[in-house]
Chain A
């Protein structure tokens, strides 16, 4: 059978007639993307508020009565799980993946639009199940986001009953939703690219999302397996993970289970999860940097290979989260080695971003601020990862704030900065309006400097040995008074950063109505999604005819090109010829000087 790209087939697009089928039960990937994004950001705000509650407790332990030890642990747990799974994973893949894959691939929609719609609604269901746990008797689980047994199901842990069941059930439902979406993303990239669009002509955004989705499809099953066995342990009383244990003086019915097995399963999911979030961020930031630096991305092929290499390696580093769990020390040696190896392709990407900026015609727009900010935070977060990847350094630091600082820098702040870069960058395409540039830049400075004010001191707290996971530090000899002052400062910074996010929401909602009408391609971007006939793109994306791609998506600063770049769908015949190539003004000036 000769291959016909699906985009060229007479695809059965749904034809919505009513408002409900257009905007609620929609099968259009763009609407689904916005639904995914809106839900993820809304639930992320809940997690943000939880973190501020925790910070109030840590910064002013005597002054507020907002949360007690139980609700502190519940906040820790819910904050972590929501941020990692329900916000970051959902927003990067469900949100940006949905919006950008078909547009960047020159397709009319995902290959299975109905399944795609189902994916969102099942995701929403998982969010509702999770949120329901706030309203049950003893509240959500307070087991920590890693949900380690046996403590997760012991009576002393808050929400060890219904809360835990709801959390685990919600994760299982989320995995179902993710699988439905993920099958769509992968198949669309593999099979539905438009004419001329080879895999190596795809923007790095698509590569990042594509590989991250594959990671998700193969890593989430480990979590599903752990979740199912944990549900059995909790609901039916089996002993997969639960060892023989005594609770309040009386032995429980469990016998002989292996808590370490849960940890292995959890982290076999948990570590790739870091890259499920990071790889799309790498992709998106590459495209934002390249566009606003008016330069082709440095080392495109190397960037693709690095994404694939990181994806592969991420499956063999999981036990570096378990150095202190009592596993065989030889394991630690192996996993420390693989962990340090994964730093190589990652560092390579960082060099390439910096080299993309080198001698670029950089336009310091708000998206570019966030993208460059990401390079800083990612380097800092990545370097502390090298510390923690080594067993001997990890052992004393593992239970301190150093770890909190590390992963918030590398996995919290960095992806979030990319999210903002991407949200601002594609906002004109999605809404047809420009956002307020000044407000966006103010938002950047508040977020960027504010998060440094939060997390840099936390590294120091970690070195002092201040333990993480504690509701209150009390008075101990090894924690000096200054540590408490530092905690207060961190809390003030956190409140400031939290409040400054309002700038973002005010900006995007205000600009929906009052923003300047956006050009179809305001940043002068060469990739396909900016070349749609309508802005915002309408259902079906491409009007009567699908685009044909003639080149890669990074033809920037091309001498003589009408607008300094050549879109992917411009045929060779419309390229500037040698005669038409104008003199480059920069070179002109330098020649005049010599």
Chain B
């Protein structure tokens, strides 16, 4: 349904449930997915606002760039693996197969947990080097942004753990199809956010 067509309809002229006036959801998909996509847009706004604030604050004279710990490269790898595993789980479910679904789906979550653990290690490294949250605005932003990203991931892991329990207790993959699909979408989103964030942090 084209947006222009929808918005230029003259509702006073057409009556009845006819042709083009048949009910159409604006999006041809499950409501949960629509809601998730809207949520992802909201999350993008939040991350963009922080990024804009980051660049504005960076211009001020007391800013000292932070050299990011190399641990972050390993963490990035972990998150990429996590996302790949989720994608694998999703393709498996879409193809209607059962095999390897446990490895893929549960493995995906486990790698995300490893990513968060890795982020905590990075925080520890920074603290050990004397870079505390209040030492410099660059540090404050680093802790804030990585923390916020990890919080989003934790939210995802909460949904993932519920689906995993259902999967482990013998739930049919068919019933979990939507859940797996949405988890995958969310993980890809958080991977993209992380990659952009990592690029911003390490280039400034």
Residues of chain A touching chain B, judged by Cβ–Cβ distance below 8 Å, are 1, 3, 5-6, 111-112, 179, 183-184, 186-187, 190-201, 217-218, 221-222, 224-225, 228-229, 232, 236-240, 253, 255-258, 261, 264-265, 268, 296, 300-301, 304-305, 308, 548-552, 554, 571-572, 575
Contacts and interface: CB of A to CB of B under 8 A. Distances in A.
Contact of B144 (A191, A224, A232): A232
A559 to B, nearest CB: 15
Given A3-B25, A239-B137, A552 B17 contact: no
B40 to A, nearest CB: 11
Given A197-B23, A198-B23, A548-B17, A3 B28 contact: yes
B21 interface: yes
B175 interface: no
Which residue, A112, A193, A199, has most C-beta atoms of chain B within 10 A? A199
A218 B45 contact: yes
Interface stretch (B56-64, B78-86, B182-190): B56-64
Contact of B23 (A194, A255, A256, A296): A194
Contact of B56 (A179, A186, A261, A301): A261
A552 B49 contact: no
Nearest to A192: B31
A200 B7 contact: yes
Interface stretch (B8-16, B69-77, B96-104, B163-171): B8-16
B135 to A, nearest CB: 9
Contacts of A575: 15
28 contacts: A1-B28, A6-B25, A112-B35, A187-B35, A191-B25, A191-B26, A191-B31, A191-B34, A198-B11, A198-B23, A200-B11, A217-B41, A222-B45, A228-B148, A236-B134, A238-B133, A239-B140, A240-B57, A240-B137, A240-B140, A257-B60, A258-B57, A258-B60, A296-B12, A301-B10, A301-B11, A554-B12, A571-B16
A571 B53 CA distance: 55
A552 B26 CA distance: 18
A196 B35 CA distance: 23
A505 to B, nearest CB: 37
A111 B49 contact: no
A572 B15 contact: yes
A217 B42 CA distance: 6
Interface string B131-169: 001100100100010001000000000000000000000
B17 A550 contact: yes
Interface in B18-47: 21-29, 31, 34-35, 38-39, 41-42, 45-46
A112 B88 CA distance: 29
Which residue, B7, B15, B22, B34, has most C-beta atoms of chain A within 10 A? B15
A190 B26 contact: yes
B200 interface: no
Given A196-B22, A218-B42, 6 more contacts: A190-B25, A196-B23, A200-B7, A238-B140, A239-B134, A301-B7
Interface in B86-139: 133-134, 137
| Closest 10 pairs (CB-CB, A-B) | A256-B62, A552-B11, A238-B140, A200-B9, A225-B49, A196-B17, A221-B46, A221-B45, A3-B25, A190-B26
B11 A201 contact: yes
Contacts of B15: 550-551, 572, 575
Contacts of A218: 41-42, 45
Contacts of A228: 144, 148
Interface size class of chain B, counting residues whose CB lies under 8 Å from the partner chain: 35 or more
A264 B57 CA distance: 12
Contact of B53 (A5, A196, A265, A308): A265
A198 B21 contact: yes
A177 to B, nearest CB: 14
Contacts of A240: 53, 57, 137, 140
Contacts of B140: 232, 238-240
Contacts of B196: none
Contact of B34 (A179, A187, A304): A187
A381 to B, nearest CB: 29
B6 interface: yes
Contacts of B11: 198, 200-201, 300-301, 551-552
A186 B60 contact: no
A3 B24 contact: yes
A196 B46 contact: no
B31 A111 contact: yes
Nearest to B63: A256
A370 to B, nearest CB: 27
A35 to B, nearest CB: 22
A253 B135 CA distance: 10
A568 B114 CA distance: 56
B60 A221 contact: no
Nearest to A189: B26
Contacts of B6: 198-200
A412 to B, nearest CB: 28
Given A224-B46, A300-B11, A572-B16, A3 B57 contact: no
B60 to A, nearest CB: 5
A574 B17 CA distance: 14
A183 B144 contact: no
B35 A183 contact: yes
B53 A111 contact: no
Given A183-B35, A232-B140, A5 B25 contact: yes
Given A265-B53, A300-B12, A550-B15, A225 B46 contact: yes
Given A3-B23, A225-B53, A239-B137, A305 B7 contact: yes
Contacts of A198: 6, 9, 11, 21, 23-24
Nearest to B141: A240
A195 B53 contact: no
B53 A261 contact: yes
A256 B61 contact: yes
A184 B25 CA distance: 15
B28 A257 contact: no
A550 B16 contact: yes
A210 to B, nearest CB: 11
A193 B17 CA distance: 13
